[in-house]
Homo-oligomer: A and B are copies of this chain.
Amino acid sequence: MEDHLTTYSEQLNCKGIRPSYQRVRILAYLHQAQVHPTVEDIFTALSPEIPTLSKATVYNTLHTFVEAGLVRDVNIDIDAQHYDIILEDHGHFKCSSCGKIYNFHLDLDQLTIDGLKEFKIHKKDVYFSGLCPDCQSKTNST
């Protein structure tokens, strides 16, 4: 565990980000959780172990990470911003029933749009929504 934290610390150094305890722990959480946590999720998860942790710090840290390209922001949910540690090309599916966000494989390079030749594209987001398999079976059985 401590080894991992050291690795995260180095990862932050490489990006020119001061590896404070809070930042290392937040980065570690993002890697472990492998979900798409919100600021609230991260705060709730780490708060018991880091009692002095402030929500403002979580906001600051995530902004820093996004700017450094360490994480990706996921705007699929209008209620709150989600964050994703997986940087490879993929799309996001949000179940409108349970709210869970799934990844799906998607080659974004295949998404070349003729009408955007004059545009400089920095970010491509593909968001689907509907019902996940779990929620479909729940609905059918009622």
- Which residues of chain A have a CB within 8 Å of any CB of chain B? 75-76, 78, 81, 91, 93, 96, 102, 104-106, 111, 113-116, 118-133, 136
Contacts and interface: CB of A to CB of B under 8 A. Distances in A.
Given A113-B104, A127-B125, A119 B96 contact: no
B133 A118 contact: yes
Query: How many copies of the polypeptide does the oligomer hold?
Result: 2
Given A75-B75, A128-B116, A122 B96 contact: yes
B104 A115 contact: yes
Contacts of A91: 113
Contacts of A130: 119-123
Nearest to A95: B119
A102 B113 CA distance: 13
Contacts of A115: 104-105
Nearest to A91: B113
15 contacts: A91-B113, A93-B121, A102-B119, A105-B113, A105-B114, A106-B113, A119-B130, A119-B132, A120-B130, A121-B128, A122-B129, A123-B130, A124-B127, A124-B128, A125-B126
